[in-house]
Amino acid sequence: MKIAVIYGGISPERNVSIAGGRAVIDALRAKGHEVVPIDPAFGADQERKAETLTSNIESFATQEELSQFTPRNIIDCFASNLFDGVEFAFILLHGKYGEDGTVQSLLDLRGIPYTSSGFQASAIAMDKITSKNIFLANHITTPPWDVLTPADADDETYLMQVKKILGKNIVVKPADLGSTIGLTRIKDATVEDIADAIRVAAKYSSNILAERYIEGRELTVGILDAQTFPIIEIVPHEDFYDYKHKYSKGSTNYICPAEIPEDIANFICNMAVDAYKALGCTNIARADFILDHDGQPYCLEINTIPGFCSTSLVPMAAKQLGIEFGDLCEILIARALQKRKKVK
């Protein structure tokens, strides 16, 4: 099969995407597929795409590095002949213009099936504020939150209200970005701390989410067509699961399956599926949770394009079921194509 692996992109999560793309390219070629690597950042001219295989996953792409790319490149890429004859697209893009429904819409227009949720669910899941409103409407427990803007950093009265609502331990993050980029976790928050956190998040987005920080165990659940994979517990060696602990080797332990009571595990899996369905997700996704000290799980978000290096969380959970990385890639393709046939 002729498969386009779409990776790289123009969001700060570019380097993570490149690592996943490289792993999937190798796995699909080993399975005998004709693979077309495509980095939309370079538009219709893919001569420089070999450079994307050398990025360092342990650091995220800076604004300066991303300034050489424009959204217009993405349009040029999908309007070009690069996709001629392509039968399927494996999307490994993260963040803006990749995970937010943009690329999904362009592939729909070209009539090419793909691995992720459709454009609408992708856009909703990428917007953490919209997601949390939907969780609330569907009785899916999620930490209390408030919506902020960059201008709120200078509004002391409003920030005092935020602190009163959310408590002394708060997380502030861009509402439409992943990999904890731009995220600040504040303990014993002061108004000045919240203002500084808003300014950090505002470097990446004008949509900012402040959320009560829930002390507890970090868990994640892979989901494929409303069926869950084994739960993974994430145990960073220090502090919390930030970008460094996600992508630096040896800085985090992963327990799969998570050592939690069966009734709680079943409850979390059911909640993950409920969240997946509430957002309208299809195909592969991953739900992230905090399990507090009283055994109450809180759903943080749904990722419609989870990390896909051979050591990433969803492949790790699949391996627990005896599914090797290359086989998992082919399963995702087969499921998406099967669903496409049913729709037709």
Q: What is the pLDDT of residues 138-170, one digit of tens each?
A: 999 999 999 999 999 999 999 999 999 999 899
Considering only 249-258, 277-286, 317-326, which range has the smallest mean pLDDT?
249-258
Q: Is the pLDDT higher at 146 or at 246?
A: 146
Q: Quickly tell me which residue has 């060696």 as its tokens.
A: 237
Considering only 218-227, 262-271, 304-313, 318-327, which range has the smallest mean pLDDT?
304-313
Considering only 5-14, 236-245, 328-337, which range has the smallest mean pLDDT?
236-245
Mean pLDDT along residues 234-242: 68
Mean pLDDT along residues 289-314: 92
With a cut of 90, say whether residue 331 has pLDDT above it: yes
Using CA of residue 36, residue 41, residue 44, residue 47, what is the dihedral sign? negative
Band (pLDDT 50/70/90 cuts) for residue 245 is very low
CA distances from 11 to 70, 71, 91 (A): 10, 10, 14
With a cut of 80, say whether residue 240 has pLDDT above it: no
Say which amino acid occupies 52.
T
With a cut of 70, say whether residue 9 has pLDDT above it: yes
Q: What does the alpha-carbon distance between residue 148 and residue 326 come to, in Å, rounded to a whole number?
A: 42
CA distances from 223 to 121, 260, 315 (A): 14, 19, 11
Tokens of 133: 């409103």
Mean pLDDT along residues 253-261: 94
List domains and CATH numbers for the chain. Answer: 2-115 (3.40.50.20), 144-212 (3.30.1490.20), 216-304 (3.30.470.20)
> What does the radius of gyration of the chain's CA atoms come to, in whole angstroms?
20
Average pLDDT over the chain, rounded to whole?
89
Band (pLDDT 50/70/90 cuts) for residue 60 is low
Considering only 59-63, 243-247, 280-284, which range has the smallest mean pLDDT?
243-247
Q: What does the alpha-carbon distance between residue 46 and residue 50 come to, in Å, rounded to a whole number?
A: 8
Mean pLDDT along residues 314-335: 95
Closest by CA to 183, choosing from 284, 300, 8, is 300
Considering only 5-19, 91-105, 227-241, which range has the smallest mean pLDDT?
227-241
Give the whole-number percent of the chain exceeding pLDDT 70. 90
- Region of 115 (left: φ > 0; alpha: ψ -120 to 50; beta: rest) is alpha
Mean pLDDT along residues 43-66: 68
Q: What does the alpha-carbon distance between residue 94 and residue 14 come to, in Å, rounded to a whole number?
A: 7
Band (pLDDT 50/70/90 cuts) for residue 243 is very low
Active site residues: 13, 179, 247, 286, 288, 301, 303, 307
Q: What does the alpha-carbon distance between residue 169 and residue 122 come to, in Å, rounded to a whole number?
A: 30
pLDDT of 241 reads 47
pLDDT of 54 reads 52
pLDDT of 179 reads 60
pLDDT of 13 reads 86
Instruction: DSSP for 172-230, please give it.
Output: EEETT--TTTT-EEESS--HHHHHHHHHHHHTT-S-EEEEEPPPEEEEEEEEETTEEPP
Mean pLDDT along residues 76-105: 94
CA distances from 220 to 99, 181, 199, 200, 337 (A): 19, 18, 29, 26, 26
pTM score > 0.95 for this model?
Answer: no
Give the whole-number percent of the chain exceeding pLDDT 90. 74
pLDDT of 67 reads 78
Of the ranges 42-51, 63-72, 193-202, which is most confident? 193-202
